[in-house]
Amino acid sequence: MNTGSPAPTGNNASLSQQESPFEYSAIVASPLVNGEAKLALSEGALLVTALFDAVEIPFAEINELRFENYTVFIESDSGAYAFSRMGQWAQPFYDALYDSYNKAVLRSLFIKGEPLVTAQGEYRYTENALTASGKAPFYVYENCLALLPPNLAARRIPLCFVRALDKEDFSLTLSLDTQERYSFSKLGYDTAPFANAVEKQLRALHQKALAAVKELDASLAAAQATQIAKLTLEGTAAPLGRLAALAPSASVRDGELSYNIDGVNYYRVPLRHFNNETQPEAMAYGRFGVVRNNVYELTVGSIVGPGRVTIDPDPEIPDEWIAGFISVRLQILPWILRVYDQPIGEQVSEYEYYYEIEPTTAP
């Protein structure tokens, strides 16, 4: 007899529904607990409590769920469990258990959010020498498909690796560039919505990649942009060698980090001439620049960070504000020798940077 409100029923219980807030009653047969017990579902486990014993079965340790002859079977690392004599609550309990188990599987596969489309049918897939088949619900997400059978055959299928899609009557087969094949069949009226959702997300994935490539480098030819977009789908690791072969001048950006493939890194080195006493005004005449009758010898001591792809000839921020990532030594010859040896970007005040200048007679 159940002591609470009815649990979600049917084979397609929603993944968004909350866990059952009440206990089920069943007769349990297992290595750890036997006899009449209460069953309660949590986010990560099934708690089985008898009068003098209790066991928690983590979803991470469950290898298979089955429902046969009004009995729920669990195969787990801690042994086999059978829950019987549940009457009309056997099916609702199995549905709620399966739903909670699937949520845990989705978390382990790093899949978040609500599915765009759900369907149920038969599946068959081949991965290297492994072949698996059975019945399961299928879920279409923005960038992947989730196959959720009640066992260890659950799979996350990234759409970025799909290279072929074959549609037949009431079936759909996806072929990946890693040689795996996944077939979905006997979906009934869900066949068309399921296939349409997969096709829509595949198109969106490629459109997004192409738009990103064109934004990155609008000068690329159509053939170059198309091939680069195919290599840089969201979720894939772009092979830089192949990208460079397609477009040597292309820049690939990831957040604040920039790469200029086969290009040039520019480092800004302001040529300080007068010190603060001679010219205290920031950006004033003589403070920076090349003065006649002087020879400037610049020696790079170290490079401590990435440079820039381009140099802005008219920056909005004054030059003295722009931090650099290069340490240099500057000699001005022959009349006056000033030793310039300091890390660019070491700011002293709002418009001032530290410079070590030692006037001396030229050799």
What is the rounded average pLDDT of the residues 65-74? 96
Q: Which domain, by its residues, includes 305?
A: 264-363
Q: Residue type for 263, please?
A: G
Asked if 196 and 231 sit in the same domain, the reply is: yes
pLDDT digit string (tens) for 115-173? Answer: 999 999 999 999 888 899 999 999 999 999 999 999 999 999 999 999 999 988 789 99
The pLDDT of residue 11 is above 70: no
SS3 185: strand
Of the candidates 258, 293, 324, which is a domain's last residue?
A: 258
Residues 96 and 129 in one domain: no
Number of domains in the chain: 3
For 71-123, the pLDDT digits (tens) are 999 999 999 999 999 999 999 999 999 999 999 999 999 999 999 999 999 99
* CA pair distance 106, 146, nearest whole angstrom: 8
The answer to whether the CB of 172 falls within 8 A of the CB of 166 is yes
Higher per-residue pLDDT: 230 or 124: 124
Do both 117 and 254 map to the same domain?
Answer: yes
Return the DSSP state at 314: S
- Residues 303-341 pLDDT 10s: 666 666 666 666 665 555 455 555 555 554 545 445 555
Domain containing 44 — which CATH number?
A: 2.30.29.30
Per this entry, what is the length of the chain? 363
Q: Residue 329 falls within a domain, yes or no?
A: yes
- Kindly state the helix (H) or strand (E) to which residue 289 belongs, with its residue range: none
Strand partners, 349: 352
**pLDDT for residue 319:** 54
C-alpha to C-alpha distance for 290 and 94, rounded to whole angstroms: 82
DSSP line for 24-45: EEEEEESSS--EEEEEEE-SSE
Residue 190, phi then psi, degrees to nearest 5: -85, -5
| Same domain assignment for residues 116 and 162 | yes
Same domain, 234 and 283: no
Give the mean pLDDT of the chain.
Answer: 77
Indicate whether 2 belongs to any domain. Answer: no
Q: Which of 108, 143, 170 is the last residue of a domain?
A: 108
Percent residues over pLDDT 70 in the chain: 65
Vertex 79 angle, CA 78 and 83, to 5°: 115
Residue 89 sits in the same domain as residue 58: yes
